[in-house]
Amino acid sequence: MAALPTTYEGSVPIAVIGGTGLRELPGFTQVASLSISTPWGEPSSPITILHHHCKHNDKVVAIAFLSRHGPHHQLAPHEVPARANIAALRSIGVRSIIAFSAVGSLQEAIKPRDFVVPDQVIDRTKGVRPWTFFEDGMVAHVPFADPFDEGIAKVVRECGHSLDGEGVVLHDRGTIICMEGPQFSTRAESHMYRSWGGSVINMSVLPEAKLAREAEIAYQMICMSTDYDCWHETTADVTVEMVMGHMKANADNARRFITAVLDALASDEHSELVQAKHLAGSIKFGISTPQPHWGTEAQKKLNWLFPGYFQ
Ligand SMILES: CSC[C@H]1O[C@H](OP(=O)(O)O)[C@H](O)[C@@H]1O
Ligand SMILES: Nc1ncnc2[nH]cnc12
Residues tagged in the binding site annotation? 20, 68-69, 101-102, 203-204, 227-229
Instruction: pLDDT band for 1, please (50, 70, 90 cuts).
Output: low
| Residues classed as catalytic | 227, 229
Residue 278 CA to ligand 1 center (angstroms) comes to 30
How confident is the model over 10-35, as a mean pLDDT? 93
d(CA 103, CA 116): 9
Cβ 97 vs Cβ 212: under 8 Å? yes
- Residue 159 exposure: Cα atoms within 13 Å on the Cβ side: 26
pLDDT at residue 178 above 70? yes
Nearest CA to ligand 1 atom 9: 101
pLDDT at residue 149 above 90? yes
- Phi, psi (5° rounding) for residue 78? -75, -5
For residue 225 and ligand 2, the question of a CB distance below 6 A is answered with: no
Q: Considering every ligand atom, which ligand is closest to the CA of 80?
A: 1
Percentage of the residues of the chain whose pLDDT score is greater than 90? 89
Cβ 228 vs Cβ 200: under 8 Å? no
- What does the mean pLDDT of the chain come to? 95
- The distance from CA 241 to its chain's CA centroid, rounded to whole angstroms, is 23
**Buried-state track 225-241, b at ≥16 Cβ within 10 A, e below 16:** bbbbbbbbeeeebbeee
Q: What global pTM score does this model have?
A: 0.97
Residue 244 Cα: closest atom of ligand 1: 1
**CA distances, 25 to each of 47, 66, 309 (Å):** 12, 10, 34
Instruction: pLDDT band for 193, please (50, 70, 90 cuts).
Output: very high
For residue 193 and ligand 2, the question of a CB distance below 6 A is answered with: no
pLDDT at residue 227 above 90? yes
Note the ipTM here: 0.99
Q: Which pLDDT score is estimated for 175? A: 98
Nearest CA to ligand 2 atom 8: 103
Question: What is the sign of the dihedral through the CA atoms of 109, 112, 115 and 121?
Answer: positive
